[in-house]
Amino acid sequence: MPVPRVADTFKGAVSRVTIGATAEEGGTRTTTVTVGGASNVVYGGEPGKLGEKPVIAIDVPDSAPQDWSDALAAQYKDVFDDPAAWAKKAVDEYGADLICLKFDGIHPDKGDLGADHAVKVTKDVLAAVGVPLILWGSGNDAKDNQVMPKVSEAAKGENCLIGTVTEDNYKSLTAIALADSHKIITEAPLDINIGKQVNILVSDMGYPLENIVTFQSTGALGYGIEYTYSIQERQRLATLGGDKMMAMPSVVDVGSEAWRAKEAKSDAPEWGPAEARGPMWEAATAIVLLQSGTDIIRLRHPKAVATVKNFIKEMW
Amino acid sequence: MALTGLQIFKMLPKSNCKKCGKPTCLAFAMALAQKKANLDECPTVSDEARTALAEASSPPIRMVKFGTGDSQVQIGQETVMFRHDEKFYNPTVIAVNVSDSLTGDALKSRLEQINELQFERVGTHIQVNAVAVVNDSGSADSFAACVEAVSQGSSLAMILLSESADALSAATAKVAGVTPLIGYATADSAEAVAKVAKENKCPVIAAGADLETLADLTEKIKAAGVEDIVMAIQKTALKDQLHTLSEARALALKKTFRPLGYPTISLAVQGSPDEQAAEAISLLCKYSSVVVIETAEKYAVLPILTAIMNIYTDPQKPVQVEAKIYPIGEPGDDAPVLLTTNFSLTYYTVESDVEASRVPSYIMVVDTEGTSVLTAYSGDKLNEKVVGEALKKHNVADLVKHKKLVIPGYVAVMSGKVEEETGWEVIVGPRESSMLPKFLQEAV
């Protein structure tokens, strides 16, 4: 029986963003990463409409993390105090497409380390690996404004993805990202209107829309993931409808959120063995979010990385 | 697709007899279109019109039930592509497979494993809802024997899967009383399998490699007198499976293409438990009404069931936690008492940060109808009276020997009124939950 066609005609598509610069492009990266490009809803239309393959960024803390659960920390115990070795391990052994250098250690309550430290770690990690870098601040506005511009400068020419900028704190980082030609992450607290607003604010400063990656905040599986899921779906639909202020690829922070969940970290044998449960919860969180349309996934546990990579390989 | 008032009007008697209570047939048609009237109110409508209207008003994706009693499950009758457009109604059913090559103790222990796939999380019971018996043996007798044994060893709803109509016939007869979902009806076996389904009054799975084949099949099965159909899209690659599921859903909802207006069933039985969980999650998010898995590992099944729980929540209604006192760690009578609201996201965030502080504490959750702290305060759902009543209701004064209550920094403004109303000393906590570990370790 002939079946009618569902021919959706969409005006817009997710913009393509390339991260990293090789020697020819003025950087020192050996690979670059391009994300975005989807021109339909997830699994809508032909498989080609899915756009570029989503990529995995493995978290590398700028200093030994204080609050990682044992099952997770054990995977990195030989590199716990050494971000450069950590990054190398994440790329060589676990297959990271990018490194997300997370500057928790500069937060006033988590070490209060200074700009010298942050700059040194950035340079060390750039020297240790050839993949592109995400440079992600601490979330403390005052400290990030003080330190992240120096981090940006230290990575000038490398075409990093730097963030995050928020509705209340975007000026200094946007200006420096513009000056140093980095891509930028705009962050919103699970609120699609604020998500759009911060994109507008950043673009009003002359920052190109096609260099933005959005971060809508991430809820873990079981802990609010449905909010992230629906915002991501709405973002994609707005994009397809032609809204240029929403047509960016997105990043999700799965690693830190998933490992906060009881199901991932607590000693609860009735839920299965802890060493399998944590990475499964992390992978499952990532898989759910992939169904809603996302482009860069921050992960931590190598087993979760393997599961998600395998899924992406099947789908793209 | 719903009919317009004018389309309905054309099928009415046009006698303006007023027996329905409306002044004209046109007015009645308009009321019908808005679902404010029922066709039964018209005493003179023709049978043809009745059939046509019933057809037009039936849901674009049929609801199908299988299993009996407490184990009955219902699937289908979805109305939207995206949960934020309305909501997803009938949660995906997870089935674990059982091979009919298992007998005796091996079968018994497999069933025990499956029966244990039940979890309590955040106050809700979630579980695997079905067992899928697979005719691996190729023998009708073994299949029938295994199906019978499964029905005795598990109370879950049953799915019977075989390529052979004879095997399905033998097995279904054994368990017709519990209304199993049976399949597969393929292009070759459709008549024979539909006959088994009709005789035993159970729903049937139509299986085809593409939507054209499936549309033919469902029509054929319907013509044979079976309307409760579930579709299996038989694609080898997960990618093709997911794209075809999306297309089928879109055709049913956007084109009201009835031959594909049925719920769906998919398999995620290959690979490691982690890989199966990943496949099952993608299938349940993107439109599979039943997903059959092979793994019975709790660590892999729990996230699958949790994903269903999350995706099928009503997006219009904020998810709430129970308003009560939650002990974190093992708090003693000197433990701090922290106030927050019953919006689940708010509570989970606070809970997780209190846990991270490693300071044993009590969290007192008040009912703010699922709103966050600031929203609740602005809407007067969080005020001194609400706090006072909660302190009394939960006998907090008996739990701790102090009378100090930590309130969220965002509602510092209500400190005075709370102290006045309750007689408790108010300590203003941080604005952001993420600052709680530092706050608890230092201040309390």
- pLDDT score of B138 more than 60: yes
Kindly indicate whether the ipTM for this predicted assembly is greater than 0.85, answering yes or no: yes
CB atoms within 10 A of CB A189: 10
Please give, rounded to a whole number of angstroms, the shortest distance from the CA of B234 to a CA of chain A: 16
Do B357 and B270 reside in the same domain of the chain?
no
Do B300 and B240 reside in the same domain of the chain?
yes
Do B123 and B241 reside in the same domain of the chain?
yes
Establish whether the linkage from the previous residue to A164 is cis, with ω within 30° of 0.
yes
A233 to chain B: nearest residue by CA?
B82
Domains contained in chain B, number: 3
- Token readout for B150 is 């499964």
Which percentage of chain B shows pLDDT scores above 90? Answer: 78
Please give, rounded to a whole number of angstroms, the shortest distance from the CA of A278 to a CA of chain B: 9
Cα(A34)–Cα(A15) distance, integer angstroms: 10
On whether residue B319 sits in a domain, the answer given is no
Please give, rounded to a whole number of angstroms, the shortest distance from the CA of B325 to a CA of chain A: 19
- State pLDDT tens for residues A164-194: 999 999 999 999 999 999 999 999 999 999 9
Q: Verify whether the Cβ–Cβ distance A272 to B299 is below 8 Å.
A: yes
> Nearest Cβ partner of A288 from B84, B281, B356?
B281
- State pLDDT tens for residues A112-163: 999 999 999 999 999 999 999 999 999 999 999 999 999 999 999 999 999 9
B442, A113 Cβ separation under 8 angstroms: no
What is the pLDDT at residue B199? 96
| Last residue in a domain, options B311, B341, B358 | B311
- pLDDT score of B101 more than 70: yes
Do B232 and B335 reside in the same domain of the chain?
no
Do B41 and B146 reside in the same domain of the chain?
no
> Nearest Cβ partner of B278 from A3, A6, A283?
A283
On whether residue B187 sits in a domain, the answer given is yes
What is the pLDDT at residue B316? 86
Burial of B334 (0-12, 13-18, 19+ CB in 10 A): exposed
What is the bridge-based pairing of β-strands B361-366 and B325-328?
Answer: antiparallel
On whether residue B316 sits in a domain, the answer given is no
- State pLDDT tens for residues B163-183: 999 999 999 999 999 999 999
A259, A300 Cβ separation under 8 angstroms: yes
Q: Chain A neighbours among B 66-95 (CB < 8 Å)?
A: 81-84
Q: Verify whether the Cβ–Cβ distance A43 to B304 is below 8 Å.
A: no
What is the pLDDT at residue B6? 87
Do B191 and B299 reside in the same domain of the chain?
yes
Q: Chain B neighbours among A 239-258 (CB < 8 Å)?
A: none
Q: Mutation test of the interface with chain B: which of A193, A288, A292, A301, choosing the one with the most B Cβ atoms within 10 A?
A: A288
CATH of the domain at B76: 3.20.20.20
Q: Verify whether the Cβ–Cβ distance A276 to B344 is below 8 Å.
A: no
What is the pLDDT at residue A73? 96
Do B159 and B71 reside in the same domain of the chain?
yes
Tokens 């209304």 correspond to B179
- State pLDDT tens for residues B271-321: 999 999 999 999 999 999 999 999 999 999 999 999 999 999 999 888 888
- Quickly name the fold that domain A50-315 has: TIM Barrel (3.20.20)
- How confident is the prediction for chain A on average, in pLDDT? 95
- State pLDDT tens for residues B54-65: 777 778 999 999
Cα(B262)–Cα(A140) distance, integer angstroms: 51
On whether residue B317 sits in a domain, the answer given is no
Mean pLDDT of B351-368: 92
Q: Which of A222-226, A250-254, B30-34 has the highest mean pLDDT?
A: A250-254
Cα(A280)–Cα(B147) distance, integer angstroms: 32
What is the pLDDT at residue A7? 78
| Last residue in a domain, options B16, B40, B57 | B57
Do B122 and B246 reside in the same domain of the chain?
yes
Q: What are phi and psi of A182, to 5 degrees?
A: -100, 155
| DSSP E strands, B67-224 | 73-76, 93-99, 118-121, 124-127, 130-134, 157-161, 181-185, 204-208
Coil, helix or strand at residue A46? coil
Tell me if chain B has a CB within 8 Å of the CB of A118.
no
Which one-letter amino acid corresponds to residue B253? Answer: L
- State pLDDT tens for residues A14-44: 999 999 999 999 999 999 999 999 999 999 9
Do B126 and B243 reside in the same domain of the chain?
yes
Cα(B346)–Cα(B359) distance, integer angstroms: 19
- State pLDDT tens for residues B364-399: 999 998 888 988 998 899 999 999 999 999 999 999
CATH of the domain at B16: 1.10.15.40
What is the pLDDT at residue B396? 93
Per-residue CA distances from B35 to A175, B30, B31, B39, B77 (Å): 56, 9, 6, 10, 18
- pLDDT score of A12 more than 80: yes
On whether residue B320 sits in a domain, the answer given is no
Cα(B227)–Cα(B64) distance, integer angstroms: 9
What is the pLDDT at residue B61? 94
Mean pLDDT of B21-36: 86
Tell me if chain A has a CB within 8 Å of the CB of B277.
yes
Which residues in chain B have their CB less than 8 angstroms from residue A284's CB? 277-278, 281, 303-304, 306-307
A-B contacts at Cβ under 8 angstroms: 153
- State pLDDT tens for residues B192-215: 999 999 999 999 999 999 999 999
Q: Verify whether the Cβ–Cβ distance A288 to B285 is below 8 Å.
A: yes
What is the bridge-based pairing of β-strands B404-407 and B337-341?
Answer: parallel
Do B34 and B73 reside in the same domain of the chain?
no
> B163 lies in which domain range?
64-311
Q: Verify whether the Cβ–Cβ distance A230 to B435 is below 8 Å.
A: no
Which residues in chain A have their CB less than 8 angstroms from residue B91's CB? none
Closest CA to B287 of A82, A235, A44, A195: A44
CATH of the domain at B347: 3.40.50.11600
What is the pLDDT at residue B356? 84
Q: Chain A neighbours among B 90-149 (CB < 8 Å)?
A: 119, 121-122
Domain boundaries, chain A: 50-315
What is the pLDDT at residue B240? 94
Which residues in chain A have their CB less than 8 angstroms from residue B259's CB? 1, 3
What is the pLDDT at residue B47? 86
Grade residue A268 by pLDDT with cuts at 50, 70 and 90.
confident
Closest CA to A252 of A219, A212, A280, A211: A219
What is the pLDDT at residue B2? 64
Do B99 and B212 reside in the same domain of the chain?
yes
A232, B318 Cβ separation under 8 angstroms: no
Establish whether the linkage from the previous residue to B410 is cis, with ω within 30° of 0.
no
- pLDDT score of B1 more than 60: no
What is the pLDDT at residue B433? 87
- pLDDT score of B444 more than 60: no
- pLDDT score of B344 more than 70: yes
Do B378 and B401 reside in the same domain of the chain?
yes
Grade residue A220 by pLDDT with cuts at 50, 70 and 90.
very high
Q: Which helix (H) or strand (E) element contains residue B251?
A: helix B238-254
Burial of A16 (0-12, 13-18, 19+ CB in 10 A): middle
